[in-house]
């Protein structure tokens, strides 16, 4: 190891941390090659970064002062998923699809060579204080373990661990309750809930096609009982369970990431993914009989409904899909402190930022779905500077009962291929806007008596209604519940501001294609960005956001490199994120552009 | 049966031979007068020379020229809306009828590349090598290919104190058949086993530039008795190899060399007694000390190893085409993890998801140990340095191996050759194309009576002699002037006659490849094209490049229906296990 090099990189990271305090370096431009900031050079020790600041002025676009500290690194080939802050200050995070040829044992003797659920223990993330950043892993041994700047990564469960239920961790079982369809190595979203005593139940997604969810019981000292997998047969199975959050009323909200941009693909008999649903349901996979209903998948799903979240027996946990929160490629939903507003991110290409507003607090079964229409700062294309104004376009109004009944009307066969057509989507939008969008000479009426088109083909309906369908790889969107609640209950005034953050894994695609509402410079776009949204109280007295501003931007991007194509001292393809009680943000990467994926501790100069 | 006996005789005579090429002593083709002339002008060494040693390891390169090196050059061939060379790799089978659920038959029709992949990085295809070929004498080729660069590599690996990877040693492997006994077992006791298979169309046809052999090795417990002691047992090993063959090909029964069931105390032919048998009925478990290993259709057991030497086109002193001592490449695979079909289907799903998201392929390179294909196999490749000495491939050169050995639909457990082994006992011997029938590929539509050979079908479907739909000599030999296949010229020919080149072409192909070795630009392509290819795109425009019409799709199978095959009904679905 080259000690000199190491110390230089430590100095530059620390110097970056310090420069953040001033908050007025904003015009440095792109976060980019962070090494430059090293000139500040001051020794890293003088702690309490951020204290001297009067950072407000540059808050919206001043990312030049961005403070990133490398907090943890994942083994080769793996991404960090399911980052979750528990009430005791422990942070859970999973290791998704690590290299199966990893043979390095960690301090507990575990080898992370399969999907792994774990937690950073021995540290209170809600009282983190100043953190000495860790360096890039260099040796193979370090590249193959979970390294962290604080605490110790503890493996809680791994793919194929034996479960009390008799099945294995990560098993995807068919609706019949017994047929093993597959074993997943893709743990994702975690949510810990109280077990009613001093321990927790940890719910974890298994992001597969169909998807799954496991539950393990943890004592207060993280002793593990491997319980079992949740039964989703009551909702006809689930699909690519991605990220999620815990609702304010204590239920995990898991997300179905639906990568079927066109519902017609669902009926393509050569498509193995649609077949896998038929297989789950016990239907003929050659399409000769009934087929899965495409509108049964692609939602936020609530786990532990009807008071079953802490049921003693995992088999008794009930689930419910929240169809009113729209059907698209859900990354996650986050419920606001008003208990009525829910923000929703949409993963994939040409995607939409959604908002749901419930009619009644704590009841997501009736309400309105909106989509964001954004306006980019004029004349600014640098992703590090370009902020967006957000307006909300109403997409649909309805009740869960009515939409569930509407969904059932699409039950059928491959031959019938029941689906909402492009013409119907156009007609729906014409009726809502009272405009002849397809210049057919007439303004069509809504083909249905309800707003099912907006709820079931949400992305296309949003685009037709004028919302911005240009986001690219939109990932985690989150708040710190305590900070947001405090801001809200104290009158939602500016000052003790609460923020929502959103990861955008990659800002190329429709975000940098030179057309439409979003026109960013794509030079470094493959490294992604994290956006900040100031929570505000709107005229309806509800939580809202009206701006979307870059908080930290990855890159530079070095396209010809064999590895680490994104600058290693900066974020790359951010995915999961959580906000700590002190407002700092943990940003987890899902990237092929860093050899080892990183969890960053980000101290936003806007705070 | 007679035919097989003669094969064995040929093998035996090859073993006795002191010549260095793995030749076939009984010429079956009439040599042309051109060939005779060439042969008369050449001097053949009585024993092979030895190469020196290379600089073994390649420095880690900060930059990569082609991050899509997993897409091989063949994928840029123009199909002209008619021809389909894509079928060999891209196949979909009935849902979950196999552990390989890649299901990429759709790629027979479209060039579905990432943005980076739309540029054909294999620019060597467009090089006119004829002026350089003209400067290399025929004798220089003979001297070059009669040089052993394998043994020096093995010595070097053994003497490299910090070598972390495998040492794939078979004594005298450079001599080919002479290194193996009558059942393909390495004579040196290394337990590597050679088998006789039909080379994959068409890169591995000698007429397209390379010869090759493949060896397999199963872990120790597959070679040990169970009912008496734990000793090495040749009969146990042969039985387990037979069981594996039946599993990989999904055969219900398979012939084996004479085996005494008393070695492992299992009645493998189900005749009610333990005796010497010549056929096994596929059991549910392997035998001997491997009795705890379940047989899984189309999957190898953990720690299976393969060794594949890719060589120049060999020419014997009698003018036969075979394998010369010199290797172009030495390729090694080791199955370090066993994933059951339930795991693989998830992993293929991840792969598909990453493709949807437009991510570039990622593989973990583990240095001396090789590159992890993320489906349980580690791949390690050696290739010639400028002096013709074998060295490790660079990371990018290794990346070239990963596409075909990872995510294509036609492979069985990420491999090619073993599923194409001559069925049963006769196939346990070193590769020998002479007398090998052009067996048809397995297809629900072709029955045992349907005799159209796989090679004949390939030539017709591809409209040329290789994946680039070129090869002038094949065109001349087997096609009419109007481009249609000359069926009469093909009928009755064996594999040797179909896919080996004339001596002139053999020498020129070797010269062409020698220029690539001199340039050391394998990242620009390894194909021994004599002149610039004509039927290959240098750029793919996803918008305008035509698709292959749906009716040109071919349901091909890597497996072959050999005479007397006991193949199961095609596409038996894998039962899903209840838990």
Where does the pLDDT of residue B565 fall: very low under 50, low under 70, confident under 90, or very high at 90 and above? Answer: low
Give the mean model confidence (pLDDT) for residues B173-178.
97
The torsion of the CA quartet A288, A290, A296, A301, rounded to 10 degrees, works out to: -100
Q: Quick check: A273 contacting B, CB < 8 Å?
A: yes
Alpha-carbon distance of B556 to B446, in angstroms, equals 11
Q: Does B342 contact A270 at a Cβ distance shorter than 8 Å?
A: no
Mean pLDDT to the nearest integer, B400-411: 96
Assess whether pLDDT exceeds 70 at residue B520. Answer: yes
Residue numbers of the domain that contains A412:
3-14+69-603
Query: Average pLDDT, stretch B384-393?
Result: 98
Residue A484 belongs to domain with CATH number: 2.120.10.30
User: How far away is chain A from the Cα of B327, in angstroms, using its nearest Cα?
Assistant: 28
Q: Which of B336, B353, B369 is the closest to A259 by Cβ?
A: B353
CB distance from B544 to chain A under 8 Å?
no
Cβ–Cβ of B336/A100 closer than 8 Å?
A: yes
Q: What is the mean pLDDT of residues B420-437?
A: 97
In a domain, A22, yes or no: no
Mean pLDDT by 10 residues, chain A (607 residues): 33 32 33 34 34 34 61 97 97 97 94 97 95 95 96 98 97 97 97 98 97 98 97 98 98 95 92 92 95 98 98 98 98 98 97 98 98 98 98 98 98 97 98 98 98 98 98 98 96 88 98 98 98 97 98 97 96 98 97 97 89
- Shortest distance between the Cα of A81 and any Cα of chain B, in A, equals 15
Contact A77 B395 (CB under 8 A): no
> Does residue A25 lie in a domain region?
no
A139 touches chain B (CB under 8 A): no
- Confidence (pLDDT) at B566: 55
Please check whether residue A140 lies inside any domain of the structure: yes
Handedness of CA B521, B526, B528, B533 (dihedral sign): negative
Count of CB atoms within 10 A of residue A53's CB? 18
Contact at CB, B576 and A179, closer than 8 angstroms = yes
The answer to whether position A57 is within a domain reads no
pLDDT of residue A3: 33
Tens of pLDDT, residues B446-482: 555 566 899 999 999 999 999 999 999 999 999 999 9
Q: Is the pLDDT assigned to residue B521 strictly greater than 70?
A: yes
What pLDDT sits at residue B543? Answer: 85
Within 8 A by CB and 6+ apart from A423, the residues are: none
Which residues does B189 contact at the CB level (< 8 Å), separation at least 6?
none
A520, A523, A529, A531: CA torsion to nearest 10: -20
**Local confidence band at B443 (pLDDT 50, 70, 90 cut-offs):** confident
Residue scoring higher pLDDT (B288 or A59): B288
- pLDDT at res. A497: 85
pTM, 2 dp: 0.90
Nearest Cβ partner for A562 among B61, B336, B349: B61
Residues of A in contact with B399 (CB under 8 A): none
Q: Nearest-CA distance from B345 to chain A in Å?
A: 7
Contacts across the A-B interface (CB distance below 8 Å) = 102
Q: Has residue A292 been placed in a domain? A: yes
Chain A window 146-175: which residues touch B at a Cβ cutoff of 8 Å? 166-168, 171-173
**In-domain check, residue A21:** no
| Residue of chain A whose alpha carbon sits nearest to that of B67 | A562
Å from A517 to nearest chain B CA? 22
- Comparing alpha-carbon positions, the chain A residue that sits nearest to B342 is A182
Q: What is the pLDDT of residue B446?
A: 58
> Which pLDDT score, from 0 to 100, does residue A59 have?
32
Task: Identify the closest residue of chain A to B63 by CA–CA distance.
Answer: A561
φ, ψ at B35 (rounded to 5°): -60, -40
How far does A287 lie from chain B, in Å, by closest CA?
11
Q: Inform me whether the pLDDT recorded for B58 exceeds 50.
A: yes
pLDDT score, position A132: 94
The β-bridge relationship of strands A585-589 and A574-579 is antiparallel
DSSP E strands in B476-560: the ranges are none
Local confidence band at B3 (pLDDT 50, 70, 90 cut-offs): very low
Q: Do B576 and A180 touch (CB under 8 A)?
A: yes
Nearest CA in chain A to B101: A272
Q: What pLDDT is recorded for position A49? A: 36
Q: Quick one: pLDDT at residue B542? A: 84
| B573 vs A: CB within 8 A | no
Based on the structure, what is the number of domains in chain A?
Answer: 1
Q: Dump pLDDT digits (tens) for B347-382.
A: 999 998 888 888 888 899 999 999 999 999 999 999
Pick from A376, A337, A274, A314: nearest CA to A486? A337
Q: Is the pLDDT of residue B27 over 60?
A: no
Q: How confident is the model at residue B493 (pLDDT cuts 50, 70, 90)?
A: very high
The answer to whether the peptide bond before residue A10 is cis (omega within 30 degrees of 0) is no
CB atoms within 10 A of CB B564: 10
| B64 contacts on A by Cβ (under 8 Å) | 560-562
Asked whether residue B24 carries a pLDDT value surpassing 70, the answer given is no
The predicted structure's pLDDT at residue A20:
30
Q: Is residue A558 domain-resident?
A: yes
A113, A98 in Cβ contact below 8 A?
Answer: yes
Tell me, yes or no, if B62 comes closer than 8 A to chain A by beta carbon.
yes
Q: How far is the alpha carbon of B162 from chain A, nearest alpha carbon, in Å?
A: 15
Counted residue by residue, chain A has a size of 607
| Structural domain contains residue A63 | no
Percentages helix, strand, coil for chain A (3-state, rounded to 5) are: 20, 35, 45
Task: Report helix angle B503-519 to B33-41, nearest 10.
Answer: 50
């Amino acid at each position: 190891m080259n000690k000199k090099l190491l110390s230089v990189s430590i100095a530059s990271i620390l110097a970056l941390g310090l420069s953040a305090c001033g908050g007025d370096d904003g015009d440095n431009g792109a976060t980019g090659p962070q090494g430059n900031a090293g000139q500040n050079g001051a020794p890293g020790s003088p702690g309490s970064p951020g204290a001297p600041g009067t950072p407000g002025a540059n808050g919206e676009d001043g990312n030049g002062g961005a403070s990133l500290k490398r907090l943890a690194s994942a083994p080769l080939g793996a991404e960090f998923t399911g980052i979750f802050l528990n009430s005791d200050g422990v942070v859970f995070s999973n290791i998704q699809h690590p290299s199966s040829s990893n043979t390095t044992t960690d301090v507990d003797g575990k080898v992370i060579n399969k999907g792994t659920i774990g937690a950073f223990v021995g540290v209170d993330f809600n009282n983190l204080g100043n953190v000495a950043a860790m360096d890039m892993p260099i040796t193979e041994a370090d590249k193959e373990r979970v390294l962290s700047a604080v605490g110790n990564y503890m493996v809680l469960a791994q793919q194929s661990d034996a479960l009390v239920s008799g099945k294995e961790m990560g098993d995807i079982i068919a609706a019949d309750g017994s047929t093993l369809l597959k074993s997943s190595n893709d743990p994702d979203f975690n949510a810990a809930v109280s077990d009613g005593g001093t321990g927790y139940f940890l719910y974890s997604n298994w992001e597969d096609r169909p998807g799954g969810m496991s539950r393990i019981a943890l004592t207060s000292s993280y002793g593990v009982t491997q319980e079992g997998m949740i039964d989703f047969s009551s909702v006809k199975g689930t699909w690519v369970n991605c990220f999620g959050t815990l609702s304010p009323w204590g239920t995990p909200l898991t997300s179905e990431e639906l990568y079927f941009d066109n519902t017609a693909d669902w009926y393509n008999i050569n498509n193995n993914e649609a077949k896998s649903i038929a297989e789950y349901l016990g239907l003929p996979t050659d399409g000769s009989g009934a087929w899965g209903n495409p509108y049964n998948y692609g939602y936020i799903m609530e786990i532990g409904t009807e008071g079953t979240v802490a049921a003693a027996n995992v088999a008794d946990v009930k689930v419910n899909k929240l169809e009113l929160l729209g059907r698209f490629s859900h990354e996650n939903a986050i419920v606001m402190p008003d208990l009525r507003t829910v923000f929703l991110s949409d993963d994939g290409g040409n995607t939409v930022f959604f908002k749901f507003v419930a009619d009644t607090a704590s009841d997501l079964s009736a309400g309105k779905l909106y989509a964001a229409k954004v306006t980019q700062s004029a004349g600014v294309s640098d992703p590090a500077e370009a902020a967006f104004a957000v307006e909300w376009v109403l997409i649909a109004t309805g009740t869960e009962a009515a939409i569930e009944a509407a969904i059932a009307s699409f039950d059928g066969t491959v031959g019938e291929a029941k689906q909402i057509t492009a013409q119907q989507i156009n007609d729906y939008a014409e009726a809502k806007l009272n405009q002849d969008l397809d210049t057919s000479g007439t303004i069509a009426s809504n083909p249905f008596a309800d707003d099912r088109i907006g709820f079931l083909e949400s992305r296309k309906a949003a685009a037709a209604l004028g919302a911005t369908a240009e986001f690219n790889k939109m990932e985690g969107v989150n708040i710190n519940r305590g900070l947001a609640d405090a801001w809200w209950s104290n009158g939602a005034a500016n000052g003790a501001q609460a923020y929502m953050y959103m990861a955008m894994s990659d800002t190329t695609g429709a975000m940098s294609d030179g057309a439409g509402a979003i026109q960013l410079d794509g030079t470094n776009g493959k490294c992604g960005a994290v956006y900040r949204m100031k929570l505000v109280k709107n005229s309806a007295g509800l939580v809202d956001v009206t701006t979307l501003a870059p908080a930290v931007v990855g890159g530079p991007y070095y396209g010809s490199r064999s590895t680490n194509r994104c600058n290693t001292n900066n974020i790359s393809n951010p995915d999961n994120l959580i906000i700590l009680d002190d407002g700092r943000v943990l940003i987890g990467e899902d990237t092929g552009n860093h050899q080892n994926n990183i969890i960053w501790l980000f101290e936003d100069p806007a705070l | 049966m007679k035919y097989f006996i003669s094969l064995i005789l040929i093998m035996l005579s090859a073993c006795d031979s002191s010549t260095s090429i793995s030749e076939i002593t009984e010429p079956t083709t009439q040599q042309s007068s051109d060939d005779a002339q060439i042969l008369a002008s050449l001097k053949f060494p009585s024993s092979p020379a030895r190469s020196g040693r290379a600089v073994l390891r390649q420095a880690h390169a900060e930059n990569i020229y082609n991050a899509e090196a997993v897409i091989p050059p063949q994928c840029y061939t123009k199909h002209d809306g008619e021809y389909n060379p894509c079928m060999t790799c891209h196949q979909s089978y009935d849902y979950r009828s196999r552990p390989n659920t890649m299901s990429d038959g759709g790629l027979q029709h479209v060039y579905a590349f990432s943005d980076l992949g739309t540029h054909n990085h294999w620019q060597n295809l467009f090089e006119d090598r004829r002026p350089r070929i003209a400067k290399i004498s025929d004798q220089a080729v003979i001297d070059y290919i009669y040089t052993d660069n394998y043994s020096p590599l093995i010595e070097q690996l053994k003497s490299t104190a910090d070598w972390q990877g495998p040492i794939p040693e078979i004594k005298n492997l450079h001599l080919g058949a002479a290194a193996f006994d009558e059942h393909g077992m390495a004579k040196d006791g290394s337990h590597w086993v050679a088998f006789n298979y039909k080379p994959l169309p068409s890169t591995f046809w000698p007429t397209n530039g390379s010869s090759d052999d493949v060896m397999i090795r199963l872990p120790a417990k597959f070679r040990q008795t169970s009912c008496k002691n734990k000793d090495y047992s040749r009969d146990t090993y042969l039985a387990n190899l037979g069981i594996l063959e039946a599993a990989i090909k999904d055969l219900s029964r398979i012939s084996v060399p004479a085996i005494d069931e008393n070695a492992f105390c299992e009645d493998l032919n189900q005749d009610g007694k333990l005796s010497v048998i010549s056929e096994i009925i596929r059991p549910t478990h392997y035998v001997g000390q491997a009795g705890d290993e379940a047989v899984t259709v189309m999957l190898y057991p953990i720690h299976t190893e393969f060794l594949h030497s890719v060589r120049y086109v060999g020419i014997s002193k009698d003018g036969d085409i075979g394998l010369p001592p010199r290797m172009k490449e030495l390729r090694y695979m080791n199955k370090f993890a066993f994933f059951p079909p339930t795991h693989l289907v998830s992993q293929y799903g991840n792969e598909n998801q990453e493709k949807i998201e437009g991510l570039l392929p990622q593989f973990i390179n583990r240095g001396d140990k090789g590159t992890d294909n993320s489906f349980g196999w580690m791949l390690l490749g050696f290739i010639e340095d400028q002096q013709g000495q074998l060295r490790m491939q660079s990371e990018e050169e290794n990346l070239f191996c990963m596409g075909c050995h990872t995510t294509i639909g036609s492979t069985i457990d990420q491999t090619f050759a073993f599923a194409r082994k001559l069925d049963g006992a006769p196939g346990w011997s070193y590769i020998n194309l002479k007398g090998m029938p052009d067996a048809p590929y397995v297809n629900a539509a072709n029955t045992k009576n349907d005799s159209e050979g796989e090679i004949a079908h390939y030539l017709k479907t591809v409209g040329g002699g290789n994946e680039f739909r070129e090869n002038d000599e094949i065109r001349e030999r087997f096609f009419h002037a109007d481009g249609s296949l000359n069926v009469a010229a093909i009928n009755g020919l064996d594999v040797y006659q179909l896919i080996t080149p004339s001596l002139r072409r053999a020498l020129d192909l070797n010269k062409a490849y020698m220029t690539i070795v001199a340039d050391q630009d394998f990242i620009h392509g390894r194909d021994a094209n004599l002149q610039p290819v004509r039927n290959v795109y240098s750029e793919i425009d996803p918008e305008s490049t035509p698709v292959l019409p749906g009716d040109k799709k071919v349901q091909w199978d890597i497996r072959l229906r050999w005479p007397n095959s006991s193949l199961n009904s095609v596409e038996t679905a894998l039962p899903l296990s209840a838990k």
